[in-house]
Structure formats: C-alpha cells, structure tokens
Amino acid sequence: MKDILNYKEFIGSVHFNSDDEIFYGKIEGINDLVTFEGKSVKELLASFKEAVEDYIVLCKSNKKPVYKSYKGSFNVRISPALHRKAFEKALSLGIPLNQLVQKAIENEVSSNK
C-alpha cells in the first residue's frame, strides 16, 4: 500500500524529508493545496486530522464544494500493442472499448478494498 492517510473520506499523501527529519503531506482530491506535517507519526496524524477539519470549516464558510469534482473522462496512455489487444477483446465481447476499460477499472478498484 502507498503511504497514505485516511480521515473522514479524505486522503492524505505522506512523504519524509530526511534532511529536515520531518513527515509531510497534502490532502489529495480537493481543489486547493492544503498541507500538513509532523516530526513523528503521531504528530503527522494529528496535523492531518486538524488540516481536514480546518478545510471543512473553510469550505462551509465560503460555500464551496469540499471535494474535487470529477468529469468521468480522462486520457489514458498505453502501448500500441496493449491498445490493439484491448480493442480486440472489446470487439470479441461485442462491447465498446470504453466499456471494457470501465469494467477493468471497476474490477481493479473493487478488488483492492
């Protein structure tokens, strides 16, 4: 598993700076840059939770959405050989390529819970 934190449906990325001997991260999946840090794991967790709580309050007071909105479409870059195989698989199943990709992503994200 990647170095992430979870709190109230928010995800925080986690990194370590060996020069400064500090853990740091940012809240992912939002439209703003909100960071947090701590000298220990305990401090990092507390800082992350505080950042989330502060961000929720800020969003409510400014009447803005808390989470980033997603369009439902994105570009995926794959090798031409894999593209051809995916096309052939979709064709053999009688479904559009987008539907094959959607099913593959659904299978991947549901199996990793």
What does each C-alpha distance from 48 to 28, 36, 59, 79 come to in angstroms? 11, 6, 16, 38
Query: Looking at residue 105, what is its pLDDT?
Result: 94
Query: Looking at residue 29, what is its pLDDT?
Result: 93
Secondary structure class of 103 (helix, strand, coil): helix
Query: Looking at residue 112, what is its pLDDT?
Result: 56
* Beta strand segments in 1-113, E: 4-7, 10-13, 15-17, 22-28, 35-38
pTM of the model as a whole:
0.75
Single-letter code of the amino acid located at 40:
S
Q: Which residues of the chain have pLDDT under 70?
A: 1, 112-113
Query: Looking at residue 56, what is its pLDDT?
Result: 97
